[in-house]
A and B are shown apart, each in its own frame.
Chain A
């Protein structure tokens, strides 16, 4: 049983090598049978890696401490839920988990397209197998999770050993979010491999037109959404578990996850330029290449410890493997682009500064600027050491200074961009669309300033949030009014009908609205306050409208941990509002303490109370209380973004206006906006444009 998982992992590696080599030979010799068998090998990798994962999980659940990885990350008393999640608690396991999710995506991509795109798919298979070979090499030969514990006995003979107890899962990871956060993040990271593979395959195979974008649109959105959810879950976990009152502090690990999300966002927007106008072909290809490379870089940053952070004190040798892989990927991308660059020429030029195109260009420009700033700040210690010899790091002020204005500008574009027409927008249209929303936003800003909210950036954020929300609402309203008067239905069902007819457009608006909510939540940070005080039983501390009275201290315990707990009663305006129980747990197996924050969350503010421990001088307990306004908007906004993304992936309902009799387009083609526009590719792009404009004006009529 012990070697079962190990063996499956080795076979998976061999299958990936076969899929890569066989696939390449199949492409060049045009042997159908070889191509087919390479595809099957690529799909088999998934089954084999799944067996390895199942085998490792089996070791966790049977407390098999002869495996070093199990012994390091589990113990007998660990609840089953966390034994399952302990799989990705350490380096070896999380790399195996990476391989598993990558294999899952690769399997789906190969399986769902097995009868389609015969010129494209062999290349896709080869590229996916190439990426898999890298990760399976790490799994098998560099960081094997199936390594057993061995030692030499008294006579000097090497023997396998079994430990009586495991050293336990890091208590910081014993939190429900930690069970789903890494899989989400990894799904996002690995998910971007699919659009990358299709883009590179289209380039290498000179596959005609914009088709790879249509094929991968849903993949990209799924990856983007999961990565975003992963980031938000990580933020929520940091907020709820680490007890420092915030959720983001520009740590290299956080930045590593944010970078591909930023370029992914840029990509989702700029592909529309290519679909509708045949522009930005080179740019899009490089955006998806960069997104993939940033995913790898992110994994590398968190693994290799080259950037000094609290996460990465120890350096590990695995870094050089990642650098090597990144170098290979970059070289392949450069060569593929250079050899096929004339195939990526643009059909159109920018016509006017006040147009949808230009808003997309600005969107991309500043997203890339944000990405560059974050990357630069994250890698600055490494870069400065290379250049000047002294290691210099930059802190949150650097990131905030650059990224807050960028974020606000993006928020402005979120409101403006979708309402600008393609090619050129007239001044009248601008006034008609934007005068009211902007006016009301400014009035709200003035009112807030009068009531004492005078933080500059927060005010701008408020004005823009109102503005964007109103533009989105007016888009829904205007579209729905047309439908309701024409079809004689009430406005509510007209909104539903409108949304389902153009899920891509209105789903996008909902995503934008979710982002507005997240922005509001982040702006609330400007008004947070905190107080730290030593309190014994009967004493109290005041924060904002609350008085917190300390009622009791006790120490509940179980097999997994022992803890210290405070019982606090919270009064507001002299009335008892609630009880809070902040806690500190000492985990038995690992002898590590963890803070359990007590959070009373309401839409407008969170009361966040931490039991900071006992002051060593006075022996009194220390309570640290925060008021964090609007934090709930962030989590709620995240849910709205997910719903909007889901809606945007939903097939569009055909309307009576368009050519209903036309044959149903294939799955890959059914994604273009407007419901009516067929897949626009190559030479037909111009006719596609006129068709698009017609659908657009149809929406606005």
Chain B
């Protein structure tokens, strides 16, 4: 029984360490999902969280300016102006009408600063095979 006790203590230490690491990783990388209509209802700390928003790229809204890219996301008639400041070139699938998922923060003016943009062509959705189109948006 002694060995069993030691094993339980050892396991306990391992599990507590891993939980602590998991918590640190969680606070560093947690990202909230919001719909565009939800954004107007956010207040307080919720406004400053890192978040992901998805919507369709409004046709004709993509503008390139001084190396930055601006566009407008639409979802159920609600619009969100987005300023993309990331360094990666936008994915090939990013064009008018595409479904896009942006990740970043809201500005006090109500626009969105995105560090990351993923996109999927809306005209032709293909179900990914298992392990299939891994990170297709980054392509």
A interface with B by C-beta (< 8 Å): 72-73, 88-91, 94, 167, 170, 172-173, 181-182, 185-186, 189, 230-231, 234, 237-238, 241-244, 249, 251, 253-254, 256-257, 298-299, 302-303, 308, 310-314, 316, 349-353, 355, 358, 361-362, 365-366, 369, 373, 376, 381, 390-402, 405-406, 409, 532, 584, 590, 592-595, 612-613, 615-617, 622, 624
Contact code string B101-135 (vs A, CB < 8 Å = 1, else 0): 10000000000000000101100111111111111
Q: Is the CB of A182 within 8 A of B129?
A: yes
Within the complex, what minimum Cβ distance (angstroms) separates B133 from chain A? 5
Contact of B33 among A181, A238, A355, A393 (CB under 8 A): A393
Q: Is the CB of A89 within 8 A of B15?
A: no
Q: Is the CB of B18 within 8 A of A310?
A: no
Within the complex, what minimum Cβ distance (angstroms) separates A620 from chain B? 12
Q: Is the CB of B125 within 8 A of A595?
A: no
With an 8 A cutoff between CB atoms, is B22 at the interface? yes
With an 8 A cutoff between CB atoms, is B40 at the interface? no
Q: Is the CB of B127 within 8 A of A592?
A: no
Q: Is the CB of B15 within 8 A of A254?
A: no
Contact code string B7-28 (vs A, CB < 8 Å = 1, else 0): 1001100110110011011101
Q: Is the CB of A394 within 8 A of B18?
A: no
Q: How far is the CA of A584 from the CA of B7 in the complex (A)?
A: 55
With an 8 A cutoff between CB atoms, is B138 at the interface? yes
Whether A251 contacts B6 in the complex (CB less than 8 A), given A303-B127, A394-B25, A617-B66, comes out as no
Whether A185 contacts B18 in the complex (CB less than 8 A), given A313-B120, A394-B29, A394-B30, comes out as no
With an 8 A cutoff between CB atoms, is B45 at the interface? no
Q: Is the CB of A405 within 8 A of B3?
A: no
- When distances are taken between beta carbons in the complex, the residues of chain A under 8 Å from B127 are 90-91, 303, 314, 316
**Besides A243-B139, A244-B135, A349-B4, 8 other A-B contacts (C-beta < 8 A):** A302-B129, A310-B136, A350-B4, A353-B7, A392-B33, A393-B31, A405-B18, A617-B67
Contact of B89 among A172, A299, A400, A613 (CB under 8 A): A613
Whether A172 contacts B93 in the complex (CB less than 8 A), given A393-B31, A398-B22, comes out as no
Q: Is the CB of A592 within 8 A of B121?
A: yes
With an 8 A cutoff between CB atoms, is B87 at the interface? yes
Q: How far is the CA of A173 from the CA of B130 in the complex (A)?
A: 12
Whether A398 contacts B26 in the complex (CB less than 8 A), given A89-B126, A311-B132, A358-B3, comes out as yes
Q: Is the CB of B52 within 8 A of A298?
A: no
- When distances are taken between beta carbons in the complex, the residues of chain B under 8 Å from A253 are 128, 130-132, 134
- When distances are taken between beta carbons in the complex, the residues of chain B under 8 Å from A241 are 139
Q: Is the CB of A310 within 8 A of B66?
A: no
Whether A310 contacts B25 in the complex (CB less than 8 A), given A94-B129, A362-B10, A373-B18, comes out as no
Closest-by-CB residue of B relative to A385 is: B33
Within the complex, what minimum Cβ distance (angstroms) separates A131 from chain B? 17
Closest-by-CB residue of B relative to A230 is: B131
Contact of A390 among B10, B26, B33, B125 (CB under 8 A): B33
Closest-by-CB residue of A relative to B139 is: A242
Within the complex, what minimum Cβ distance (angstroms) separates A618 from chain B? 9
With an 8 A cutoff between CB atoms, is B64 at the interface? yes
Which of A89, A254, A310: most chain B CB closer than 10 A?
A: A310
Q: How far is the CA of A393 from the CA of B10 in the complex (A)?
A: 31
